[in-house]
Structure 1
Amino acid sequence: MIASNLFAVAVIGFASLSAAQSTNGVGVGNQTVVPSSVDVNERNNWCIAQKNTCTTLCSKDWTTNDCDINTLKASCICADGSEPDLVPYRNTLPYFVCTEYIAQCVSKNATMPALQSICRNTNTCGSLDPNDFVPTTTLSTSTGAATTSTAPANGGTNPAASTTDAAPAATSPNAAGTLEPSSVGLLHVVSLFAAFAITGFGMAL
């Protein structure tokens, strides 16, 4: 009885190992499927989505944007020469291949739930939404604009301080202009009193 149980455990272990090995290295982007095992219309839809995602990840500026439905190979090169990593994103060829690989693995082990679990748990497909992609150049431009707007325009001097310092100088001429007429008026009044005094003194004589 014990021997039979051990044999059953060994068989299950061997089957699990075989299923794990069938995941082509078990890693993100490592899955493959036979192109002919997928309906041609489905593959065509995959490539349409792949090209759309490439356009998004290249900010609508690319030099190469190819997807072959016969080989399930894709190439995405942006105008600046960079090649976006497609694997982390949904709606890319690696994503579709990954999900199809899991589906086929589960289907082939329909009577063995333990192996189906291995199919699902040992494969990770992309989960990021391409529409959430933010180009690095956009971030750099925004940061540069913010820095420029806060930098002093006169090489380090605070413009507000310069305006405040200049205010007294601007009012000094006005103050002098206000004092000058009153001084002249005072002299004029004194002169008039002196003239009346002389005239009155002459009449008295």
Structure 2
Amino acid sequence: MVLLSSLAVVATVASLATCQNTSTIDPSTVLDSTRKQWCESQTSACPLICLQLPGASGSPKENKCDFKSLVYSCICSNNQSPNASEYSQTIPYFECTEKNNQCVKNCDGEQQCQYDCRSKNHCGAQDPKRVNTTTSATTSTAQATTSLPPFTGVPDKNGVASRPSADLNHIYGLAVVMAGFFAGFATLL
């Protein structure tokens, strides 16, 4: 019985270890400034990714990234951790693209090798889940349309957008002022 529980503990620890974020590249091969930018992108992407999960808000419970090791965590408000490799601007995406860049660099200019580096190792979502879907329906009755002017700036004191720019009063006013200017200048000559 003790052996069985020990095996269960070992199996659990082993499964947790495989779930940890492991780098596909050696972080020391990437500049610190680049890794810092990657971590900033990862922590910025986490809330947006969480918004796509059912029952999660845009405020993750945990959103961390260590630029030295490139270990990150993104745990959404519904206690789920999204698969960050399905998204761009995440650590798995950056590691994948860097791995491809290093592969291309090691090809010594051979085009087929360079092509294979990128075509056989895709980064980001290959078959993304469509979370937001749109359905359309036809209607048999005509819809009423409005003739509101387009928004042309800051609303006036009544909360309505200002008049459309087709109002030419200011153009006419400018023409009158310019005509007066030219008439005055002509009389001086």
When the two structures are superposed, what TM-score results if normalisation uses the length of structure 1?
Answer: 0.46
Q: Which has the higher contact order (CA 8 A, sep 6+)?
A: 1
Larger Rg: 1
